[in-house]
Amino acid sequence: MHPIVKALEGSLIVSCQAYPGEPMRDPRTMAQIAAAVEQGGASAVRAQGLDDIRQVKAAVNNVPVIGIWKDGNEGVFITPTLKHCEAVLDAGADILALDGTLRERPDGLTFAETVARIRERSKAPIMADCDSEESALAAAEAGVDIIGTTLAGYTGAREKTDGPDLELLASLVEKLPGRAVVAEGRVHSQAHAAACREAGAFAVVVGTAITHPTSITTWFDAAVRGAGERA
Ligand SMILES: CC(=O)N[C@H](C=O)[C@@H](O)[C@H](O)[C@H](O)COP(=O)(O)O
């Protein structure tokens, strides 16, 4: 196993992202958040977009940056082409993450071809953002270093679970012994994070519940209003 990946075993990874048009959508803000979560014990941070990757990389002291570049918001949009992958690596990402589904990619390369082309020029570990057992097994076969459940519930391949897709996670852990199967997506509480580890996750990625105050506010707002209505 790649030493950068090995170091993540049993740990929390934090995704630091704000979305287009949002108040916190500024690479300097994401870099500050990344430094803050590193202080809290995050073993790695996941950053989106080339400027964010550069600034997050400069802001953290001692943890690797998992880089993605989201282009668009439908179909294959997480680091969708070989060109996006190369740019993410050039921006300084320590680990490259990309769409790991079996859907057609915008540049016509297959996932396996994309991985092979990246390997020709980089030794950086690769994380596949998968959506199903089928895509995860194919990604493992293509030789990626990290298999993530990131896109489960977002492509139609699996139902969108309330919380992480523990069923998919557990089946991947069983089918891919010795591989880094990472839980990502809708890990919204400490209980969810612990359940992912209990299901065998190599590491757990949390985004929204740590770094997206607008969403967190809506959760608390609903709880407060609901309690008010019941009182
Ligand atoms: C589906 C998709 O686009 N997922 C993205 C991937 O980078 C992010 O928007 C998520 O925030 C991230 O995966 C972490 O998940 P959560 O925020 O649920 O903890």
Q: How many angstroms separate the alpha carbon of residue 126 from the centre of ligand 1?
A: 17
Q: How many angstroms separate the alpha carbon of residue 125 from the centre of ligand 1?
A: 19
Residue 126: name the closest of 102, 114, 139, 144 by CA: 144
Q: How many angstroms separate the alpha carbon of residue 192 from the centre of ligand 1?
A: 15
Predicted pLDDT at 197: 98
**Beta-carbon neighbour count of residue 171 at 10 Å?**
17
Q: Which of 22, 169, 188, 208 to mutate to test the pocket of ligand 1 (most atoms within 8 A of CB)?
A: 208
Q: How many angstroms separate the alpha carbon of residue 140 from the centre of ligand 1?
A: 21
Q: Which amino acid is at 207?
A: G
Q: How many angstroms separate the alpha carbon of residue 56 from the centre of ligand 1?
A: 17
Q: Which of 166, 184, 187 to mutate to test the pocket of ligand 1 (most atoms within 8 A of CB)?
A: 184
Average pLDDT over all residues of the chain: 97
Helix or strand run (H / E) with residue 103: none
**Beta-carbon neighbour count of residue 218 at 10 Å?**
11
201: its two tokens? 């996750």
Q: Ligand 1 in contact with 184 (CB < 6 A)?
A: yes
Helices and strands: H and E segment counts in the chain: 10, 8
Rg (CA), the chain: 17
Q: Which amino acid is at 21?
A: G
Q: How many angstroms separate the alpha carbon of residue 51 from the centre of ligand 1?
A: 18
Q: How many angstroms separate the alpha carbon of residue 223 from the centre of ligand 1?
A: 23
Residue 157: name the closest of 201, 102, 78 by CA: 102
Q: Which of 14, 15, 204 to mutate to test the pocket of ligand 1 (most atoms within 8 A of CB)?
A: 15
* Torsion sign, CA atoms 119, 122, 125, 131: negative
Residue located nearest, by CA, to atom 15 of ligand 1: 185
Residues in the chain, pLDDT under 50: none
Q: Ligand 1 in contact with 150 (CB < 6 A)?
A: yes
Predicted pLDDT at 221: 98
C-alpha angle 82/141/147, rounded to 5°? 70
Predicted pLDDT at 51: 98
